[in-house]
Amino acid sequence: MENIIVNYRGPIIFGIGFLLSLIIGWFLFPMALYKSEAQPLQYNHKLHVTDQGMSCEDCHAFAESGAFQGIPAVSKCAECHAEPIGETDAEKILVEEYITPNKEIPWKVYSRQPDNAYFSHASHVTIGKMDCKDCHGSQGESEQLRTYQVNRISGYSRDIWGPNISGIQSESWQGMKMDKCIRCHDDRGRRDGCIACHK
C-alpha cells in the first residue's frame, strides 16, 4: 500500500507544478509585463462616425510619405470644437486643456509599429483595397477608448502582440506581428523582400 502512494506522489507533484506554471505564465506574467495607462481624455468614435457621418480619413489623413499621420493635430479638433459643443467631461478637458492653449493631446497610440518596421497605410488602403477594420477592428464604432496597455520592457503597445500572450487571436485584426503580415501578403500573391518593410 505504501508503494502505491509513493508511485502517485511524482505525477501529483508534476501536475501541481504544471498547473502553477500555467497560472503564472498565462495570468501573472502578463500582469507583470504590461502596465495600464489611461488616455488623456475619452473619445467617442461612434458619435463622430455613425452619428455625425464622418469617415476615418476626416481625422486620420495620409501623410506625404504614405503613412497615416495617425493622431489628428489639435487644430483639426478645433475646426469643430473651438467652443464646447457637448456636456461631457471629455469635451470640457478637450477645449480647456488642449484647444484653447493650442496644446497637442498626448494620445497613447495602440498601433505604433516598432522603429525597425515601416508600414505604408497608403499602399495597403489604395493598392491593397484594405479597410480600416481589417487591422483596427471595430475601434471606429467604439463609444469610449480602451485602456492602453504598454510593455514595460519594449515600450510598445500590447496591441502589437495581441490581447492573448500566446499570440492566439479570437479576431482576425488582433495583433500586428510580422508572421501575420507575411501570411496576408502570401494570400494576396505578394512576396516582398525584407527591405520593403525594414528600412
- Residue 70 in any domain: the answer is no
Q: Which three cell numbers stand for residue 173?
A: 485584426
Q: How far is residue 79 from each of residues 59, 75, 83, measured CA to CA in Å?
A: 11, 7, 10
Q: pLDDT class for 79, splitting at 50, 70, 90?
A: very high
Q: Which residues form the domain of 11?
A: 1-35
- Residue 79 in any domain: the answer is no
Looking at the fold, whether 114 and 198 belong to one and the same domain comes out as: yes
Looking at the fold, whether 26 and 112 belong to one and the same domain comes out as: no
* Poorest-pLDDT segment among 13-27, 59-73, 106-120, 139-153: 59-73
Listed in sequence order, the DSSP H helices in 34-118 are: 45-46, 56-59, 74-81, 89-93
Structural domain tally of the chain? 2
> What distance in Å separates the CA atoms of residue 134 and residue 188, rounded to the nearest whole number?
14
Q: pLDDT class for 139, splitting at 50, 70, 90?
A: confident
Q: Which of 99, 111, 120, 84 is nearest to 199 (CA)?
A: 120
What's the confidence (pLDDT) of residue 3? Answer: 53
Q: Which three cell numbers stand for residue 11?
A: 505525477
* Poorest-pLDDT segment among 76-85, 88-97, 183-192: 183-192
- Residue 189 in any domain: the answer is yes
Q: Is the pLDDT of residue 192 over 90?
A: no
- Residue 44 in any domain: the answer is no
- Residue 61 in any domain: the answer is no
Looking at the fold, whether 198 and 114 belong to one and the same domain comes out as: yes
> What distance in Å separates the CA atoms of residue 132 and residue 139, rounded to the nearest whole number?
9
Give 153-184 pLDDT, tens digit per residue. 989 888 888 877 666 777 777 888 888 888 88
What's the confidence (pLDDT) of residue 152? Answer: 93
What's the confidence (pLDDT) of residue 2? Answer: 53
pTM: 0.74
58 or 97: which leads in pLDDT: 97
- Residue 169 in any domain: the answer is yes
- To the nearest whole number, what is the mean pLDDT of the chain? 84
* Poorest-pLDDT segment among 79-93, 109-123, 142-156: 109-123
- Residue 88 in any domain: the answer is no
What's the confidence (pLDDT) of residue 140? Answer: 81
Bridge partners, 146 (sequence order): none
Give 21-47 pLDDT, tens digit per residue. 888 877 788 888 999 999 999 999 999
